[in-house]
C-alpha cells in the first residue's frame, strides 16, 4: 500500500526532489520508491501521533538532507 502511495508521491512537487536525490545517490528505481514509502510512513505516523494536519510548506522549509 505504501509502495503504491510512493509511486504517486514521486510525481508530486513536494516529494519529487526527495525521490530524485535517492536516484542521484545511486539507488535503483525500486530502492528509491521504498525509501520514499518509508519517508511517507514516518510522516503519516508523526501526523497521527501529534494530531496535526499535513502542511507541505513545512517539508519544503525543512532540512534538504531528509
User: Measuring CA to CA, how many Å separate 36 from each of 18, 28, 51, 57?
Assistant: 7, 12, 22, 18
Alpha carbons 18 and 36: distance in angstroms, whole number? 7
Look at residue 65 in the predicted model and tell me its pLDDT.
54
pLDDT in tens, 8-66: 999 998 899 999 999 999 999 999 999 999 999 999 999 999 898 888 776 555 555 55
Look at residue 45 in the predicted model and tell me its pLDDT.
95
pTM summary value: 0.79
- All structural domains of the chain with their residue ranges: 2-61
Look at residue 14 in the predicted model and tell me its pLDDT.
87
Amino acid at each position: 500500500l505504501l509502495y503504491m502511495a510512493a509511486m504517486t508521491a514521486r510525481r508530486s512537487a513536494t516529494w519529487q526532489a526527495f525521490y530524485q536525490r535517492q536516484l542521484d545517490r545511486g539507488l535503483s528505481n525500486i530502492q528509491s520508491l521504498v525509501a520514499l514509502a518509508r519517508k511517507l510512513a514516518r510522516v503519516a505516523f508523526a501526523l497521527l501521533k501529534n494530531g496535526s494536519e499535513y502542511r507541505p510548506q513545512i517539508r519544503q522549509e525543512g532540512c534538504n538532507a531528509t
